[in-house]
Amino acid sequence: MPTLFRLLITLIFLAGLAFAGMFALVTFVDVTPREVSQRVPTRDLLGETGTPGGGGTVLPQPNVTSTPPAGQ
């Protein structure tokens, strides 16, 4: 029985430490929001699998029309 109490008290103590750490983080750390942007290379958007220098790679044709479809 004393071993069970020792285990429970140890677990409660560790949970209290974790809670105190989270509370301290929430209280003392100020979050400064900032804008994050990352450039995506065009070859990744177009699905190009060739060499980065272009070396004879054929790009896919864009699926663009200059007139709306007939049903609209």
Lowest mean pLDDT among 14-23, 27-36, 50-59: 50-59
The number of beta carbons lying within 10 Å of the beta carbon of residue 2 is: 6
Q: Are 57 and 51 in contact (CB under 8 A)?
A: yes
- Mean pLDDT rounded to a whole number for the chain: 82
Mean pLDDT of 31-43: 87
| Band (20; pLDDT cuts 50, 70, 90) | very high
Distances (CA, A) of 60 to 17, 35, 38, 43, 48: 58, 33, 24, 11, 8
* Best-predicted range by mean pLDDT (21-30, 32-41, 53-62): 21-30
pTM over 0.75: no
Helices of type H across 1-72: 2-28, 42-46
